[in-house]
Amino acid sequence: MLWLTISIISYFLFAIVALIDEILLSDKIIKPKVYAFYAGILSFLVLFLLFFDSTIPSFSYLLIAFISGILWMVAIIGFFESLKRYELSRVVPAIGAFLPVFTLGLSYLYKGSEFAGFSILKIISFVLLVVGGVLIVLEKNKKISRQSLKLTTLTAFLFALSFFTAKIFYLNYSFISGLIWIRFGWIISAIALLIFPDVRNNIFKKRKNKKLNFLKLFFSAQIIGVIAGVLQNFAIYLAPIIYLSFVNALEGVKYVFVLIFILILARFYPRFSFEKITKKIIIQKAFAIMLIIIGLILLTL
């Protein structure tokens, strides 16, 4: 299962990006739409791949690729907006629970017949990965409000649609071709964000040194994010459609890495400790990690 290895590597890199995102989005300097704009514009970095595959898809599949990219950008805005309005411990569990389920549902609707050979071990693996991924970021007494649930559910569905439409494209065209044309959807969406005055003002106004430092940190994270995104898309390309939802379910692996990073940073740099580590939290997260590890083992059987 090469797609599984590629997915885990991508989530390792996404974990690094997640730590930087938490730093940047905790400050009012970077707004969600502005954050999404820069993330989309940086997609031009993959356009050099046109030298390796200049295939122009049919109009219908070109539209699918653009839709996938646009859906991803809208979902990213929803995710950042959720982080801005609500706590990470409320947002991530909700998205982590709904996203794999939505992706699984869409995949089943499209290729239900291929799920006939889906073993009970794979079903258990999927459940363990999803539950473990939710549990590792869930905090006691951090109830999910109705408003946050609406936004996170919609965001998860948009992410799922983006994953699904990307896979539809990859079923008919090469990985490089998909990477290029889906990213065009990102770029189109990013440019469209310039219609918002607050985005234009934030991008084109003069920067203070403090803001420049934040942007340097942001761009460093986005370069890592571009690499992680390419690897994740490669995993989507490689994974059979019945395993597409597992690419989402593996999100919990990212938070295992995040937890490890936080524990290391908190030991040497206390100011990087984003959460209060108690005995109960350690037990909960250890149990979540155990579920994720068992889920991974069952997935490989």
Mapping DSSP to helix (H, G, I), strand (E, B) and coil, where does residue 182 land?
Answer: helix
Q: What are the backbone angles phi and psi of residue 102, rounded to the nearest 5°? A: -60, -45
pLDDT of residue 235: 93
Instruction: Let me know if 149 is exposed, middle or buried by CB neighbors in 10 A (0-12, 13-18, 19+).
Output: middle
Asked if 36 and 193 count as a contact pair (C-beta separation under 8 A), the reply is yes
**Which tens digit of pLDDT belongs to each residue from 174-187?**
999 998 899 888 88
Q: What is the DSSP letter of 140?
A: T
Asked if 163 and 247 count as a contact pair (C-beta separation under 8 A), the reply is yes
**What's the predicted TM-score (pTM) here?**
0.84
**Which tens digit of pLDDT belongs to each residue from 232-286?**
999 999 998 889 999 988 988 888 888 788 777 767 666 555 555 667 777 888 8
pLDDT of residue 145: 66
Asked if 222 and 237 count as a contact pair (C-beta separation under 8 A), the reply is no
> What are the residues whose beta carbons fall under 8 Å from the beta carbon of 285, sequence distance 6 or more?
135, 136, 259
Q: Can you count the helices (H) and strands (E) in the chain?
A: 12, 0
Residue ranges of the chain whose pLDDT lies below 70: 22-31, 86-90, 117, 140-145, 205-215, 266, 268-278
Domain that holds residue 63: 2-300
Per the structure, the count of domains in the chain is: 1
pLDDT of residue 3: 92
